[in-house]
Structure 1
Amino acid sequence: FNYIVVGSGFAGSVIAERIANVLNQKVLIIEKRNHIGGNCYDYRDENNIIVHKYGPHLFHTDYKEVFDYLSNFTDWHIYHHKVLAFVDGKKIPLPFNLNSIYEVFPQELAKGLEVRLIEKYGYGTKIPILELLKEEDKDLKFLANYVYEKIYKNYTMKQWGLKPEEISPQVTARVPIYVSRDNRYFTDKYQVIPKDGYTKIFERMLNHPNIKIMLNTDFKEVISIDFESKKIYFLGQEFKGKLIFTGMIDELFNFKYGFLPYRSLDLRFETIEQEYYQEAPVVNYPNDYDFTRITEFKHIHPVKSDKTTILKEYPKAYQPNVDIPYYPVFTKENQELYNKYKEEADKFENLVLVGRLAEYRYYDMDDVVKRALEVFEERIK
């Protein structure tokens, strides 16, 4: 093999597929889990419902090239994601929009707030909540405080174990207020769900005579790195090809500078003996209960069944070697710690880092596919 890929999520699988098809070279994938697909892995449960094992994954993108690329491996169902938030006993549309205003406030007050928002920001705009909180206008400030307190603050503290102002703006900007009547959670041009689920995408992507996959294998069992000589060894022999690493960068370097912090999740699936459990695919619970949200998969992948499967997500601190690292925690000191590891990695000519864990950043699915295609063109081809 001239190429070894560690990890079979989107980052690793896209690069392996490109090496096999474009370069016509052999590539070995090393995967710690007993399945391919990383956190996008899904399967049919005992109720014949496709469930996402590691939490809901909803494909949305404005990148035509990413949509076209993935369309080689799947047909799609058109799917517009909707999320409700349980606030003061009501379920209201998220992101918070003009419809939400009329759900929670009396008609006269709601009308006034709508006029103010459109005058100030224009119709169809998105305003990050932390920006709206700086408003001088007393009505807009009232709205900002309401949304912050009722929808944003407690959810963020549950999810991250931090206050919103302690978290990087790239995270907080993900939940804006929409000056719009659009109840869809996303506004991207392409919003779809793979017809047969995500796992089938990976199976088709990696079904190639040039690709070999080792499941149930920790990379440390077969790869060792000499940090002095900057050499990589595979099964005891020096490996002179390219190592594409999509796992945790701190683990690659034996945590020599310490652990990079993540948030993890305790995911609890339940079968409910009724056709549907809730009105929308996802309902957020910012202020009530210990879970952040409930997903009902039948809304995402409709199927005839008398039962339904739901998922409750309980965020938790990440314990190394115990929990799955889901979300990098973006703070200044964590970024500085990552930069130390990145400097180490840059000393290796034949090491390529790509993906959420290797680059310590949050990627949506379309972003990580785009990134993997770019890395293939720039560093591998």
Structure 2
Amino acid sequence: MCSMNTTPSGTYDYLIVGAGFAGSVLAERLATQLDKRVLVIDRRPHIAGNAFDHYNEEGVWVHRYGPHIFHTNAQRIVDYLSQFTEWRPYEHRVLAQVKDQQVPMPINLTTLNMLYGLTLDAEQGAAFLASRAEPVDDIRTSEDVVVSQVGRELYETFFQGYTRKQWGLDPSELDKSVTARVPTRTNTDDRYFTDAFQIMPRDGYTAMFEKLLDHPNITVALGVDFAEMRERVDYRHLIYTGPIDEYFDYQLGKLPYRCLRFQHETLDQEVFQPVGVVNYPSEDVPYTRITEYKYLTGQQHPKTSVTYEFPTDQGDPYYPIPRPENAELYRRYRALADATPDVTFLGRLGSYRYYNMDQVVGQALATFEHLAEAHAADAVASPVESRAS
């Protein structure tokens, strides 16, 4: 068993800051594959990072930091995580509240037929969208992406208000990558994702992380800050998954993030809404979406729990804001990181990039391979010292 939430002592091969996906996957690999002694710390009082799930006071299984839905096309990521969890199938569906209707999101044939009172088939749907699309010569912003695909009316209905709430910026001020992630379909497929693997950990994310970190070489200390811990323990190499600008004491300025405020409510009814997530794109509504977790977890319970999401500028950093000036500031921090020996930066915050969960796992596994190669090279270069350590 790993030592969980203990007072660390002694010398560690690796100090890992952050017990989310990036840090926990690396801890598991270093401990099991290289027999390294690893200390994982997190300033929060729990493991699993933003994927943390638990049973609330009413016994309803919830995600504390909003919905986390696992989807990937990478067999190797599923194979790796399957060592630590069994799965249940889950295909995520999202509706958008448009006036008095709830219509499928992303936009599909059903969305168009419901909004406009039509009976289009796939070919007619494609022609309908093409007739409304506005050509954009140089697609640079999120507005450009959507307007060039579906026209201004659908852009204003589904994207403009939602994006302004989510990011605190107009889509015309955001990089094209923000809305390029959301497809438009001319069939009736109402799944939010089309990945080959759409699954949820059967016993939850927290249980999966407990197994990831369950090794005698791994010590976990929770509710502690890196600033204090770095002075209290000895370690040879640092894995840092926190904000890269915070590590460097913001010496080049702060990297902007979008934060979230969650309003959790448990209701004395079995079901609240028809799908797991309903989006509210109108700027007249202060929140962006409502999540009902029983769809995600499959839990049977006489009550249900929902979460309202309110984007904000204050709180824990969630989303790096994709604008050219922010990317440039990150590049300057990246140069500092590259010049800092024995420190590895990764994860969403360490890379200042929005990653899905499977992408973070992939990044952590690739990082481990690099560390393992360096370890092997060191062992060849100094075999006596390697045996002694």
TM-score normalised to structure 1 length? 0.88
**Cα distance in 1 for residues equivalent to 2:34 and 2:128:** 53
Counterpart of 1:157, as a letter, is R
**Cα distance in 1 for residues equivalent to 2:336 and 2:346:** 15
- Is 1:252 paired with 2:247? yes
Report the CA distance shift for 1:100/1:236 in structure 2 as closer, same or farther (over 3 A). closer
In structure 2, the residue corresponding to 1:220 is in which secondary structure? helix
**Cα distance in 1 for residues equivalent to 2:188 and 2:172:** 28
* Aligned position for 1:138: none
Q: How do 1:130-149 and structure 2 match up within 5 A?
A: 130-131=144-145, 133-134=147-148, 143-149=150-156
Report the CA distance shift for 1:18/1:273 in structure 2 as closer, same or farther (over 3 A). same
* Aligned position for 1:192: 199
**Cα distance in 2 for residues equivalent to 1:348 and 1:317:** 30
* Aligned position for 1:328: 320
* Aligned position for 1:154: 161
- Is 1:183 paired with 2:197? no
Q: Deviation string for 1:100-130 (max 9, x for gaps)?
A: 111111226788851516989xxxxxxx873
Contact 1:271–1:310 under 8 Å retained in 2: yes
Report the CA distance shift for 1:349/1:117 in structure 2 as closer, same or farther (over 3 A). farther
Counterpart of 2:152, as a letter, is N
Report the CA distance shift for 1:182/1:258 in structure 2 as closer, same or farther (over 3 A). same
- Is 1:296 paired with 2:310? no
**Cα distance in 1 for residues equivalent to 2:212 and 2:306:** 29
Equivalent of 2:356 in 357, 364, 368 = 364
Counterpart of 2:356, as a letter, is D
Contact 2:122–2:186 under 8 Å retained in 1: no
Q: How do 1:72-83 and structure 2 match up within 5 A?
A: 72-83=83-94
Report the CA distance shift for 1:315/1:51 in structure 2 as closer, same or farther (over 3 A). same
**Cα distance in 2 for residues equivalent to 1:380 and 1:357:** 23
Q: How do 1:212-223 and structure 2 match up within 5 A?
A: 212-223=219-230
Deviates more, 1:171-180 or 1:64-73: 171-180
In structure 1, the residue corresponding to 2:156 is in which secondary structure? helix
Q: How do 1:16-27 and structure 2 match up within 5 A?
A: 16-27=27-38
How many percent of aligned residue pairs carry the same amino acid? 44
Aligned residue pairs, count: 352
In structure 1, the residue corresponding to 2:184 is in which secondary structure? strand
Report the CA distance shift for 1:185/1:218 in structure 2 as closer, same or farther (over 3 A). same
Post-superposition offset of 1:304: 2.6
In structure 1, the residue corresponding to 2:316 is in which secondary structure? coil
Counterpart of 2:310, as a letter, is Y
Contact 1:129–1:176 under 8 Å retained in 2: no
Equivalent of 1:70 in 58, 72, 81 = 81
**Cα distance in 2 for residues equivalent to 1:378 and 1:180:** 43
- Is 1:275 paired with 2:270? yes
In structure 1, the residue corresponding to 2:148 is in which secondary structure? coil
Counterpart of 1:68, as a letter, is D
Q: Deviation string for 1:125-179 (max 9, x for gaps)?
A: xxx87345237xxxxxxx5222201111000000001111211111121122122
* Aligned position for 1:114: 125
Deviates more, 1:345-354 or 1:356-365: 345-354
TM-score normalised to structure 2 length? 0.86
Equivalent of 1:345 in 334, 337, 345 = 337
Report the CA distance shift for 1:150/1:119 in structure 2 as closer, same or farther (over 3 A). closer
Counterpart of 2:159, as a letter, is Y
* Aligned position for 1:231: none
**Cα distance in 1 for residues equivalent to 2:88 and 2:168:** 36
Post-superposition offset of 1:345: 1.0
* Aligned position for 1:228: none
Structure 2: gaps (5+ residues): 1-11, 132-141, 374-389
* Aligned position for 1:140: none
* Aligned position for 2:369: 377
Contact 1:130–1:172 under 8 Å retained in 2: no
Post-superposition offset of 1:72: 0.5
**Cα distance in 2 for residues equivalent to 1:112 and 1:67:** 36
**Cα distance in 2 for residues equivalent to 1:296 and 1:279:** 9
Contact 1:129–1:175 under 8 Å retained in 2: no
Structure 1: gaps (5+ residues): 121-127, 136-142, 224-233
